[in-house]
Structure 1
Amino acid sequence: MALRTKSRFFLDFIKLAGPFWQSENKNTIIGFSVALVVLTILQIAISVVITMWSAALFDALDQQSMTKFFTQAGLIVLIFIANMAVTASHVMVKRRLQLDWRGWLTNKLIGQWMHNGRHYLITHIPGKHDNPDGRIAEDIRISTELAIDLTHSLLYCVLLLISFTEILWDLSGTITLNLFLVEIPIAGHLVWLSIIYAACASTLGWWIGRPLSKATDDRQTVEANFRFGLVKARENSMAIALIHGERHENPHFHALFGDIITVWHQQTNAWAKILLFSSGYSVLSMAFPILVSAPRYILGNISLGALMQSAQAFQHMVSALSWPVDNMGRVAEWRASVERVLGLNEVLVQLEEEIAKPDPHRILIKKNEQSILRFDKLCLSRLDGIVCIEGLDEEINAGERILLAGNPYTGNKLFKAMARLWPWGEGTIELPDDDPMFFMPPRPYLPTGSLRMAICYPSESEAFNQEALESALERVGLTDLIPQLDETGDWEKNLEREQQQRLGMVRLLLHRPKWIMMQEAFNSLNPEDEVEMIRMIMREFPDSTLLTITKQPAVRALHKRQIILI
């Protein structure tokens, strides 16, 4: 995936995540943000105090003064307590801000993704938006947590730089550089050395670490693909076992993990180069300021305390100036995750705009004031342009029993178009006003939780009383499930396919819709039971409209007319 330019990247991220600071809880959010800044300033203040304490301690040791030594020993206790209080408070405030931001952005993306079937429609849109679950669960976490971590550390380094530049400048004094017959006085030489030192290191470190960004993004992609493959196999384990598909799945998993190994080696090589550089850089940063300042101490120009304070101030300045080098890997990880979140958001926004704009090659869905379902010059096409249905003109009145005969694949597309899940095509679908449609797919969705909740879905479990549930279960032949109503489980795995389809009938009996769209909803039942289920629907819902897709010949005779779909 090609990374966008830096200016566009930051603008896109701010546009997506920035409104968090103007959300409904903005007063609390701003309060925590201000508290984080104040605590950061206090952290800097403690760092300055520690360098001053260090100078006083080493001067006391150099002077062999027990009084001054015990004074500094007492002061370190106060510094110790203050540092603990500030650090603990800082962690709590920062983590609260990270969690709130992650929660806000997660709710925003889930709201876009789980809106009017958009989670289904984006699977048909080309682009880099694979594994939306991983992008929402993992990449949003990384994007928000690291954004606050990196911003805080950058602010800390800027304040550190401001605070210690003056200290190091005063400690440096003025040295004279002899160039043949010319003497050049240099004030604050340690400041200039720290800037040159950090600039050279940052430039070299940036050049060495450039491959890490792409390697990090590639790794997140292949890890998500591997995780998705495992989840898909778990969700379809019975189907795989029945046809002995393991011989296909194993090589597939090995191939997916092979991609991880390839990218892992790429990322390892990139990290190795960075760590090779940074490990030597950290050792040199510790020794360099003492080696530079030691001649002035040996010549008696500064005290031991001033030498140690100079070394600490130099290290703080170099540390602040080295922020790009120290955080290069985290910035790469953060940017890769943000790119993935932006990619999902962009395709969702693009999808909304695509559906909203007038287009001659989009199906128009509107409602009429009558209890009539009407197809006017309806054409359904696939994404590649191949037409599935052409010129469908039909009018279905309330209470009719219609069999959609012919190609079941085309009937499936027609149901999706009626549910606003397939906008590709032309013509108009007029839906009956205020009459919700109840779609019965071959496999009803049963969410994990109590059986009662799974049966009542998408309504709340409190919407139907115990008597209604027991009566519906008895009528469809699932009396044995009544004692399990309040048990929790993964019902898509715990129940046989036939039981699941019978639960779909239970839902229908509970919700009692006026328009029923049934797509091979009982194809796992034996022919006699399937016919009986259809008869039950017709008895229970004499005034409801029924559109049926089925391959069972005996069911066809129960319908008054057919619509042939090619």
Structure 2
Amino acid sequence: MAGEADEKKRRGRGAEEAAVQGQEFAVKKHARYPTHSQVVGRHGMKVGGPASLRRPNDVARDQDASLEIPRRKAMLLSAAFLFERAQNAVSMASQSKLGRLAAGHGTFSSVVVDLTRLYLANRSRITRAVCISLLVALVHRVSHAVSEQKAASAHDAAQRAARRGTMATDEEKPRAKVALNREFLRSLMRLLRICVPGWRSREASLLLSHSFFLVLRTLISLRVAEMDGAIVKSLVKGNGKEFLKRILGWMLIAVPATFTNSMLSYHQAQLSLKYRTRLTQHIHDNYLSNLTFYGISALDDRIKNPDQLIAVDVSKFSNSLAELYSNLAKPILDMTIYTYSLSRSVGGEGVVFMSLLVQLSANVMRVLTPPFGKYVADEARLEGEFRFQHSRLIDYGEEVALYGGHDAEKDTLDKGYFTLIKHVNYILRRRFYHGFMEDFVIKYFWGALGLLLCSVPVFVKMPGHVAMNMGDRTESFVTNRRMLLSASDAFGRIMFSYREIMELAGYTSRVASLLDVMSEIRAGRFQKKLVSSSGTEGNEAMLQGRGTVHESEDITFIDVPIVSPNGDVLIRALSFSLKHGDHLLVVGPNGCGKSSLFRILGGLWPVYGGTVYKPPFHAIFYIPQRPYLSRGSLRQQVIYPDSLRQMRARGVTDADLLSMLKILGLEHLVELYDEGWDAEAEWRDVLSGGLQQRVAMARLFYHRPKYAILDECTSSVTLETEKVMYDNAKALGITLMTVSHRRSLWKYHTHILQFDGQGNYVFTMLDAERRLRLEDEREELEVKLRQVPELERRIQELEASV
């Protein structure tokens, strides 16, 4: 007990000594500490002055302030000395159990005071350490993301190498999920390299100019916030002259502000247009090269509607990308500048605390945000399917009408439409709930945090800041409130942009998938759903193989399988040889591989095995049963696909074209229109089937290839016109390869390739006269055989009657 009494006496003497030393120190400091009446205002005018010239309330307030400052200093210093003495006492008492208990009952306020002193003394160092820590964390996160991206790219490259040269079914490769992942970043960077090919491109110049106006807009907004505070301050002070001056300055700054807004809108529209132009040109270059367009539609199942991808999705991607740059760059810049300005006004601690709360709520919102990117991709896919159903009805309108299938087609269209509408309604409901949550958090929760932050200079005296009067406090509050609203709006736009990023991810996925499929098709890799009859190991092994193609003057097939794109093997090993000058007739039942042979010869279908020797692509000309008539002039129908410039480069004139038409009896077409050769019309509707086939033959005479593939190209013309066509084609030195069932064409060919429809074939010389005689004899015998049952019945009747 005596020890405890001595300890209490020592504590009392220490506290009294600390109070006396604190008062002495405060008296010394008071000689150098200015009073409130001597403080110089923000505008260079003394706030204090003679008491006789000032209001009594102001004089009393200044006197109280002059006495309050030394008193507060003395109290703080006394508390500091008391805290040091208490620390010594606690360290001595900690040796015993009672001392530890006494230390546990120390006041919490003294600890807070000590921590506050420590923080204020090392504020700059702590701030610097926090910034360095955040920077290190950001660098670590970026490096980790980069390493993951490299690993993912290497993994994707290994998978593509493993799949090279194979055909996959629909189950082998599931549809990729649309999300903000490494695949999205890889696809987006690939498209960005197309949209902005280099820093010297026009697009890069537009981006730099756009960025300049974004920075200018932020600086103007910051200046407007300061001017708003100054205007409100002049209102509070009742200074009309100052108020009018501030209003005039506010009107003057509106000129560059509105000009900047217009330039931002103009740059955004131009960027969208430039992006779309770059992407469309790149896609057209690849889509219309090496027969890629045919491979997408006939040899591959992954892209169902390339027309919508090129015409619609590319446009939406370009608009979304241009808007996203403005909607992200401007808010990020605003947040950076406004946060720095707010930290100077209200202190960095409040900004950091508010940022942590905002980041926490933003993370919660991000977790609860639906996958809008996947929704957008699915909606675009359903839109494309619905559009494809309508275009299909247009293409097969005649067949549907003849079958009376309008009710069935209506059911199909209604099903596609209501599937789309169901998905759109689902998206609208998800957007409703997400928008409710987003608006509440961004507008009200963050707004309440902002009001608390703006009130800090009013209720709390910041270190290093002089005391403010009513006008200064009002100006500070209005300015901070305006900057906080701008910063909150910027953060809100960043949060809203997450949904825009998800939508951009959907468009990016669809456009990038088109580019990926085109790349694989150009490399000879296809994915087609196989028919059930081809699901054997032998057929699958054949589909995975690749033959060799060599350029030659003659045509030779050596053990080449004829395989359709869906995996149906028509001929397992076809071998024949045709020299230039020989003419081949291909016959057989439907679906036996006649047209398939010519598709392989024309390079439309891949060679799955064996060896093919054939002339170059430009040396083979193809004329189908239903000729293709392009949109253009009458001259264009004859010289297609050449242009007028190419025609003149070949030394062909309109008179030469007219002579070709006269051979086929088509010279009246030139005289039918006043424009002559330059007349344009919808030629498919104007010309009948027979006239179309004759125009296609005139096109053959113009190009004069070495080989011509004629696929039932004379089915709608008379025998006299057919004779003129073939005689003139042979006279031009064109080797003819004909698919036809007309016996009248046999005499124009030297060889025959006959398929039986069971996977077998016969290739031999063709003696037209002998074959005609044999065919005539065969037909006579068939007629007689059909009469045998009737003859037998008649014989039985005669026998019965006898």
Q: How does 1:262-411 map to 2 (within 5 A)?
A: 262-281=422-441, 283-284=443-444, 288=448, 291-292=451-452, 303-354=473-524, 361-368=545-552, 371-409=553-591, 410-411=593-594
What's 2:322 paired with? 148
Residues 1:559 and 2:742 aligned together: no
**2-structure distance, mates of 1:536, 1:96:** 58
Pair 1:470-2:658 in alignment: yes
Structure 1 residues 280-307: Cα deviation after superposition (integer angstroms, max 9, x where no partner): 3454269536753686698777633322
> Which runs of structure 2 are paired with 1:30-179 in the superposition (5 Å)?
30-126=204-300, 128-173=302-347
| Secondary structure, counterpart of 2:185 in structure 1 | helix
Give the letter for the 1:415 counterpart: F
**Aligned residues of 1:404 and 1:548 also touching (Cα < 8 A):** yes
Residue 452 and residue 270 in structure 1: after superposition, are their counterparts in 2 closer, same or farther (change >3 A)? farther
- Output the CA distance in 2 between the equivalents of 1:220 and 1:84: 36
Q: Give the counterpart of 1:13 among 188, 193, 209.
A: 188
Q: Secondary structure at the match of 1:163?
A: helix
Q: Which residue of 1 aligns with 2:383?
A: 223
Distance 1:507 1:210 in 2: 57
Which segment is superposed worse, 474-483 or 214-223? 474-483
Secondary structure at the aligned position of 1:26 is classed as coil
Q: Conserved in 2, the CA contact under 8 Å of 1:382 and 1:424?
A: no
Residue type of the alignment partner of 1:157: P
Distance 1:440 1:238 in 2: 23
Q: Matched residues in 2 for 1:326 and 1:51: separation?
A: 24
Distance of aligned partners of 1:297 and 1:30 in 2 relative to their CA distance in 1, 3 Å threshold: closer
CA distance in 2, matches of 1:425, 1:487: 45
- Comparing both chains, which one has the higher relative contact order based on Cα–Cα distances under 8 Å and sequence gaps of 6 or more? 1
State the match for 2:15 in structure 1: none
- Matching residue's letter, 2:193: G
Q: Deviations over 1:81-117 (max 9, x none)?
A: 1012222223333333332222122221221211121
Shift of 1:3: 2.0
Per the alignment, in what secondary structure is the counterpart of residue 328 of structure 2? helix
The answer to which of 320-329 and 50-59 deviates more is: 320-329
1:440: how far off?
A: 0.6
Q: Which amino acid aligns with 1:10?
A: L
Establish whether residue 503 from structure 1 lines up as the match of residue 695 from structure 2: yes
- Alpha carbons of structure 1 residues 324 and 296: separation in structure 2 relative to 1, 3 Å: closer
Give the letter aligned to residue 92 of structure 1.
Y
**Structure 1 contact 400–544 (Cα < 8 Å) conserved:** no
Are 1:378 and 1:392, in contact at CA under 8 Å, matched by a contact in 2?
Answer: yes
CA apart distance, 1:196: 4.3
- Contact 2:451/2:481, CA 8 A, preserved across alignment: no
- In the alignment of these two chains, the number of paired residues is 546
Deviation at 1:220, TM superposition (A): 0.4
Secondary structure of 2:708's counterpart equals: strand
- Please give the per-residue CA displacement for 1:61-82, whole angstroms capped at 9, x wherever unaligned: 2222211221122112221110
3-state DSSP class of the match of 1:284? helix
Structure 1 contact 61–69 (Cα < 8 Å) conserved: yes
Separation in 1 of the partners of 2:605 and 2:703? 25
Conserved? CA contact 2:664–2:725, under 8 Å: no
Change (3 A) 1:454 1:274: farther
Shift in Å, 1:450: 2.6
How much does 1:244 deviate? 3.9
Q: Is this contact kept in 1: 2:690–2:717, CA < 8 A? A: no
Give the CA deviation at 1:427: 1.3
The verdict on how the C-alpha distance between 1:115 and 1:7 changes in structure 2, with shifts beyond 3 A counting, is: same
| In structure 2, distance between residues paired with 1:212 and 1:270 | 9
- Aligned match of 1:182: none
2:739 maps to 549
Contact 1:17 1:105 in 2 (8 A): no
Q: What root-mean-square deviation, in Å, do the aligned CA atoms of Structure 1 and Structure 2 show?
A: 2.9
Q: Give 2:474's aligned amino acid.
A: L
Correspondence for 1:181: none
**Percent identical across equivalent pairs?**
19
Unaligned runs of 5+ in 1: 174-186
CA distance in 2 between partners of 1:188 and 1:55 (Å): 23
Structure 1, 291-300 or 304-313: larger mean CA deviation: 291-300
Shift of 1:459: 0.5
Q: Alignment partner of 2:524: what SS?
A: helix
Higher strand share: 1
Q: What corresponds to 1:520 in structure 2? A: 712
CA distance in 2, matches of 1:486, 1:435: 26
